[in-house]
Amino acid sequence: MADPCTFCEIVGGRVPAEIVWADERTVAFVDLRQPNEGHTLVIPRRHVPDARALDEETGAALLRTALRVLQAVDRAFPSDGMSLWHSIGPGAFQEVPHLHLHILPRRTGDGLLEVYPDPPADADPATRARIAEQVRRQLDESREGP
């Protein structure tokens, strides 16, 4: 890594953060941006650029921590709903190239994270079948190994 990773710096204690949870594999801290109070990030301790590079053990630990933190945020900041997300790469607006899960309490009408500003039409059955076959093929190939 050429540039220091801000999240690795937080894990190493070199950048201050409001840490709400830490264990041997994960850290959770309050996001600098608070569109709704309670916005929290959950990250793996080791540098992982995004979910495509995540191993199963770290992924399981990350989701356990996310669930624990999400439930705590929900109790601390009652809301109309919650968003839990991870953006991968520039096409999805990932800003920090270290895997992080956002936990964000939501308010009806807050205008945040509109998944479909203009809802797309439903895919026809043949298109859904073709997509499913492509995904199944990749799953089968990953099961077989190199």
pLDDT digits (tens, 9 = 90+) for 89-130: 888 788 899 999 999 999 998 888 776 677 778 888 898 889
Q: Using alpha carbons only, what angle is made at residue 81 by residues 21 and 103, rounded to the nearest 5 degrees?
A: 25
Degrees, nearest 5: CA angle 112-33-86? 60
Q: Annotated catalytic, 100?
A: yes
Residue numbers of the chain with a pLDDT score lower than 70: 1-2, 115-116, 145-146
* pLDDT for res 145: 62
Catalytic, out of 47, 86, 98, 100? 100
Write down the pLDDT at residue 28.
96
pTM for the whole thing? Answer: 0.85
- In whole angstroms, what is the distance from residue 96 CA to residue 94 CA? 6
Can you say whether residue 143 is alpha, beta or left, with left for phi > 0 and alpha for psi between -120 and 50 degrees?
alpha
> Could you write out the three-class secondary structure of 39-72?
CEEEEECCCCCCHHHCCHHHHHHHHHHHHHHHHH
* Cβ atoms 133, 126 nearer than 8 A: no
Which string of b and e fits 42-62 if b means at least 16 CB within 10 Å?
bbbbeebbbeeebeeebeebb
Work out whether the CA dihedral 9, 88, 83, 110 comes out positive or negative: positive
pLDDT at 139: 85
Nearest CA to 49 out of 18, 8, 13 is that of 8
